[in-house]
Amino acid sequence: MTLALDLPPAPPRLESPRALARVRTTAWVHRSLYCPQCGRLRLEPTREGTPFRDFVCGGCREPFELKASRQPHGRRVAGGSLERYREALDRGTAPNLLLLTYDPDAARVRDLVAVNRLLISPLAVIGRPRPLARNSPEPYYLCDLDLSGVPEAAKVPYLRSAHERPKRFVLDSWNRFRFLREPGSADEPDWIRDLLALIARIPSREFTLDDLYGHEEALARLHPRNRHIRAKIRQKLQVLVRRRILRRAAPGVYESIV
């Protein structure tokens, strides 16, 4: 499949550059993009104003949120309401992200990366320090998603510098973690997600058990019912080795291989 990179024409009566960009990039996704999970040829737009969902796949029902920018996406992307986003992660309803970059002068899409929601951990969600000014008795905080806390394997490119990746590459890369979708999985997807978020922040591909033991308190806050955090870390590292996401380089030493 070849993606047409040209943005559709601007609709009449829209003057705001931001609104124009939003309408045109949304129309482009609807017209051009296939689902990275099941390969269905079109994503369907949701009703305007639906929280955290701009599109849904009509086949597998996966949700997607579009983040479009004329500048390359940096380390952080806006996540919206801190409370609602954390609730969505807890319930498993947070969306996959579509990080799109476009050239406003050429009216063409340059880059597009899909971020797999299965690997977005609460550890990567950063609350902004000041509440949003609004008429509400309760403070309303926004948040950002720190992409450095999301594993690189979760970021699947459709386009890099306007060069399209093969559809089979996108589907295979996306479904590398499909075992986390299995109902009642003994692999405990939340634990896998949170460990991979910690590993993503380690600057080298190789790391030790002690590197993860240093985050014992953070993991205990996320998993308060577990009284044996270090044992659980070792257990889940074994799962990741078995799934060929990590390699055991030496006793207590592991290496990322995806």
3-state secondary structure string across 62-104: CEEEEEEECCCCCCEEEEEEHHHHHHHHHHCCCCEEEEEEEEC
Provide the sign of the torsion angle of the four alpha carbons 146, 148, 154, 159, taken in this order: positive
Q: What is the mean pLDDT of the chain?
A: 91
- Cα dihedral 76, 217, 232, 253, rounded to 10, equals 70
Using CA atoms, how far apart are residues 57 and 237, in angstroms rounded to an integer?
32
Q: Quick one: which of 243, 232, 226, 158 has its CA closest to 198?
A: 232
User: Stretch 96-117: mean pLDDT, rounded?
Assistant: 93
More confident residue, 13 or 102: 102
- pLDDT value of position 19: 78
Using CA atoms, how far apart are residues 239 and 251, in angstroms rounded to an integer?
16
Q: Quick one: which of 211, 219, 217 has its CA closest to 252?
A: 211
pLDDT digits (tens, 9 = 90+) for 193-225: 999 999 999 999 999 999 999 999 999 999 999
- pLDDT value of position 10: 67
Q: Are the C-beta atoms of 257 and 243 separated by less than 8 Å?
A: no
Q: Give the start-to-end residue ranges of the domains of the chain.
A: 17-176, 189-256
pLDDT digits (tens, 9 = 90+) for 219-258: 999 999 999 999 999 999 999 999 999 999 999 999 999 8
Say what the pTM is: 0.90
Q: Which CATH number fits domain 189-256: 1.10.10.10, 1.20.140.10, 3.40.50.720, 3.30.300.30?
A: 1.10.10.10
Q: Are the C-beta atoms of 125 and 142 separated by less than 8 Å?
A: no
Please classify residue 181 by burial: count the beta carbons closer than 10 Å to its beta carbon, then call 0-12 exposed, 13-18 middle and 19+ buried: middle
Residue 3 has pLDDT above 70, yes or no: no
Provide the sign of the torsion angle of the four alpha carbons 173, 175, 176, 177, taken in this order: positive
- pLDDT value of position 22: 86
User: Stretch 137-159: mean pLDDT, rounded?
Assistant: 92
Q: Which CATH architecture has domain 17-176?
A: 3-Layer(aba) Sandwich (3.40)
- Label the pairing between strands 253-256 and 246-250: antiparallel
Helix 189-200, helix 229-242: angle, nearest 10: 90
pLDDT digits (tens, 9 = 90+) for 81-98: 999 999 999 999 999 999
Place 138 in a pLDDT band, splitting at 50, 70 and 90. confident
